[in-house]
Amino acid sequence: MKQYFRFAKKYKKAFLLAPLLVIVDVFCEIVQPEMMSRIVDLGIRQKDIPYILRTGGLMLGLSLLAIIGNVGNIWYSSQGSVGFVTELRKGLFGKIQEFSFANIDRFSSASLVTRLTNDVNILQQVVMMSLRLLIRGPLMLIFAVVIAVGIAPGLGLIIAIAIPVLMVSIFFLLRKGIPFFIQMQGKLDKVNGAVQENLINVRVIKSFVREGFEKKKFAVSNEDLMAISIRASSIVALIMPVMQLVMNISIVAIVWFGGNKIMAGTLQVGQLMSFISYVTQILMSLMMLSVSVMTFSRAGASSKRILEVLDAGIDITDSPQAIREDRKPGLGKVEFIDVSFKYHSGGGEYVLKNISLTAEAGERVAVIGATGSAKSTLVQLIPRLYDATEGQVLVDGVDVRNYTLLNLRNGVSMVLQQNELFSGTIRDNLKWGNPLATEEEIIAAARDAQAHEFILSFPAQYDTLLGQGGVNVSGGQKQRLCIARAILKKPAILILDDSTSAVDTATEAGIRAALDRHLKNTTTFIIAQRIGSIISADKIIILEEGAMIASGSHEELIRSSKAYQEIYYSQQEKEVPAV
């Protein structure tokens, strides 16, 4: 709850005025039947025209005030609820931007999308409803009971019976219905989740011709939702007739007992009329409250999911020391000191084991190893995409945790193995790495990444619009744009995680030559499968199941490392010579 207050704070006025205006509305409305009864009993019976006019005028005035109260309440409730969720969405989005990779591992993107759209919308409805009905219902109820009993204390017994009867029946219906509503919300989540995941992976589904399977999967969750929705609504559908029944029985009883009182002269006709109005009000208010309870029960799950995001602890943040010192990576020397690492979601197994290595400033370091040998994991520790579980990663002799994330990641540019472009022009995408880059710098970076030429081959050149995720460029072109984007940051450390896997060998050699020429002083980590990509590196590191089994230059390793020889000769299509 406390979390939510900070999003409502900006709309304090709306949150205060909406309930206040409801009070005005309720007050002006609730006295109307009472005044009507006075017009009938005093004005008409005694033919007191001025009294009728006065009271009628007053009623008219109060009606106007009620309208103002009601419209004002709707206005401020909408403002409050829309404002609240706008802030909430902003807060959630901001929080997700701060998420570390570990946080993202925990929430799937489909579930985050649902949380940010569907769950937030449900919360908006609840806030709107709270501001409209939550005060109105009980207030109406109390006022109506007090006035009705004041009019005819003798008939109070009917209210005293009708209210508990209706409450008990609604209670039972809700008790049966609410679990269905909660389940319904769960099923709705499944449907939403299925849609999100399907849309994100639509290309994979098509390429595996799994549309039929997906359709079936979707039909199952969709029909589940239907079944539970029908059960839930059939219970809710009972509430209305029950209420009608209670209401009609009450009215018959009131007319019966009230009629006797009128004949005995202890009750006036107008009073009986207004009494009936109040009883109707009372029962309606109870209905309103039950609807609120229902909506609240449905919203509980949404709120829980939103709070999960808001309360998620972010494990990678700026330390106070880092903020105080505000240092930036300089030359780009990288050291791993006895680093071990395990993923939180990885079941307690160490993925990296006791890695110690040094990359001097400006060195080219290649990391090779079988798939799953933790190459990506190793380099992800440098820009702190994850934090080392044990040991230390140092950049220029300083623990990476003692840089602010902004400074560290500005200094360490990484082309991720699964890289993405954004919708927008090629220029926008490149400048994304460095918004201040000049046209010359952009072109230079594109040239180094061997992307300039194919960019020029597009009719709109650097203004070519890329689709979401860069769908309209080839895999190799996409990789080159991602490299250009990373180079444009002019980093002290550049990490290329399998970034040229889709690029032909000649182009790759071009990129390598450009890096040697123009990024001489940049420490570069290259993860690659092709031996040609790494042979010229100053240092080659071989990983096997998370352990570093050898390191050195090509010349050193070809002499000393059996594992390296195997990799080398298997790619040379030559026999491993007997040593």
Ligand X SMILES: Nc1ncnc2c1ncn2[C@@H]1O[C@H](COP(=O)(O)OP(=O)(O)OP(=O)(O)O)[C@@H](O)[C@H]1O
Minimum distance from residue 545 beta carbon to Mg ion (Å): 14
Q: Which residue has 């769960």 as its token pair?
A: 186
By beta-carbon proximity to Mg ion, the closer residue of 462 and 525 is: 525
Q: What separation in angstroms does the CA of 390 have from each of 132, 343, 353? A: 55, 12, 9
Q: What separation in angstroms does the CA of 237 have from each of 216, 240, 386? A: 31, 6, 53
By beta-carbon proximity to ligand X, the closer residue of 377 and 410 is: 377
417 makes contact with ligand X (CB under 6 A): yes
371 makes contact with ligand X (CB under 6 A): yes
Residues 93-112 that bind ligand X (CB under 6 A): 105
Q: Among 55, 233, 417, 565, indicate the residue that binds Mg ion (CB under 5 A).
A: 417
Spatial separation of the C-alpha atoms in residues 100 and 162, rounded to whole Å: 57
343 binds, among Mg ion, ligand X, none (CB under 5 to 8 A by kind): ligand X
Q: Among 373, 450, 477, 551, indicate the residue that binds ligand X (CB under 6 A).
A: 373
Burial class (CB within 10 angstroms; exposed 0-12, middle 13-18, buried 19+) of 44: middle
CB 256 within 8 A of CB 284: no
In terms of C-beta distances under 8 Å and separation of at least 24 residues, what long-range contacts does 567-575 make, across chains too? 567/368, 567/531, 567/542, 568/531, 571/530, 571/531, 571/532, 572/531
Q: Among 247, 309, 374, 400, indicate the residue that binds ligand X (CB under 6 A).
A: 374
Please list, in sequence order, all residues whose beta carbon lies within 8 angstroms of the beta carbon of residue 126, skipping any fewer than 6 positions away: 295, 296, 299, 303
By beta-carbon proximity to Mg ion, the closer residue of 158 and 415 is: 415
418 binds, among ligand X, Mg ion, none (CB under 5 to 8 A by kind): none
By beta-carbon proximity to ligand X, the closer residue of 27 and 343 is: 343
Minimum distance from residue 483 beta carbon to ligand X (Å): 17
218 binds, among ligand X, Mg ion, none (CB under 5 to 8 A by kind): none
CB 514 within 8 A of CB 449: yes
Spatial separation of the C-alpha atoms in residues 427 and 440, rounded to whole Å: 12
Please list, in sequence order, all residues whose beta carbon lies within 8 angstroms of the beta carbon of residue 326, skipping any fewer than 6 positions away: 404, 407
Q: Which of 91, 87, 70 is nearest to 11 (CA)?
A: 87
Minimum distance from residue 536 beta carbon to ligand X (Å): 21
501 makes contact with Mg ion (CB under 5 A): no
Q: Among 198, 221, 376, 413, indicate the residue that binds Mg ion (CB under 5 A).
A: 376
**String marking each residue 345-364 x if it binds ligand X according to CB under 6 A:** xx----x-------------
377 makes contact with ligand X (CB under 6 A): yes
Sort strands 334-341 and 390-395 into parallel, antiparallel or unpaired: antiparallel
| Residue 109 three-state SS | helix
Minimum distance from residue 109 beta carbon to ligand X (Å): 13
Spatial separation of the C-alpha atoms in residues 128 and 118, rounded to whole Å: 15
- Of the candidate spans 49-57, 158-166, 412-420, 513-521, the one that interacts with Mg ion by CB under 5 A turns out to be 412-420
The secondary structure element, H or E, covering residue 275 is helix 269-311
Spatial separation of the C-alpha atoms in residues 445 and 455, rounded to whole Å: 12
Beta-bridge partners for 368? 542
Burial class (CB within 10 angstroms; exposed 0-12, middle 13-18, buried 19+) of 265: exposed
185 makes contact with Mg ion (CB under 5 A): no
135 phi and psi angles, rounded to 5 deg? -95, -35
343 makes contact with ligand X (CB under 6 A): yes
Minimum distance from residue 531 beta carbon to ligand X (Å): 15
Minimum distance from residue 379 beta carbon to Mg ion (Å): 9
Minimum distance from residue 375 beta carbon to ligand X (Å): 4
Spatial separation of the C-alpha atoms in residues 255 and 273, rounded to whole Å: 9
Let me know how long the chain is: 579
By beta-carbon proximity to Mg ion, the closer residue of 376 and 507 is: 376
Spatial separation of the C-alpha atoms in residues 413 and 573, rounded to whole Å: 35
Minimum distance from residue 372 beta carbon to Mg ion (Å): 8
346 binds, among Mg ion, ligand X, none (CB under 5 to 8 A by kind): ligand X
- Of the candidate spans 110-118, 208-216, 343-351, 551-559, the one that interacts with ligand X by CB under 6 A turns out to be 343-351
Q: What separation in angstroms does the CA of 127 have from each of 15, 138, 385, 503? A: 10, 17, 37, 53
By beta-carbon proximity to ligand X, the closer residue of 57 and 372 is: 372
Please list, in sequence order, all residues whose beta carbon lies within 8 angstroms of the beta carbon of residue 423, skipping any fewer than 6 positions away: 465, 466, 467, 468, 469
By beta-carbon proximity to ligand X, the closer residue of 69 and 369 is: 369
By beta-carbon proximity to ligand X, the closer residue of 285 and 561 is: 561
- Of the candidate spans 61-69, 300-308, 368-376, 544-552, the one that interacts with Mg ion by CB under 5 A turns out to be 368-376
By beta-carbon proximity to Mg ion, the closer residue of 417 and 425 is: 417
Q: Among 124, 130, 376, 507, indicate the residue that binds ligand X (CB under 6 A).
A: 376
Spatial separation of the C-alpha atoms in residues 295 and 133, rounded to whole Å: 11
128 binds, among Mg ion, ligand X, none (CB under 5 to 8 A by kind): none
Minimum distance from residue 570 beta carbon to ligand X (Å): 16
By beta-carbon proximity to ligand X, the closer residue of 16 and 104 is: 104
- Of the candidate spans 5-13, 211-219, 341-349, 501-509, the one that interacts with ligand X by CB under 6 A turns out to be 341-349
Which two three-digit tokens encode residue 448? 């180094």
**String marking each residue 478-507 x if it binds ligand X according to CB under 6 A:** --------------------x---------
Please list, in sequence order, all residues whose beta carbon lies within 8 angstroms of the beta carbon of residue 411, skipping any fewer than 6 positions away: 328, 329, 332, 395, 403, 491, 492, 493
365 makes contact with ligand X (CB under 6 A): no
Distance of CA 574 to the CA centre of its chain: 54
532 binds, among ligand X, Mg ion, none (CB under 5 to 8 A by kind): none
> How many chain residues touch Mg ion (CB under 5 A)?
2
351 binds, among Mg ion, ligand X, none (CB under 5 to 8 A by kind): ligand X
- Of the candidate spans 171-179, 232-240, 369-377, 548-556, the one that interacts with ligand X by CB under 6 A turns out to be 369-377
By beta-carbon proximity to Mg ion, the closer residue of 225 and 414 is: 414
**Which residues of the shown chain bind Mg ion in the complex (CB under 5 A)?**
376, 417
Binding site for ligand X (CB under 6 A): 105, 343, 345-346, 351, 369, 371-377, 417, 498
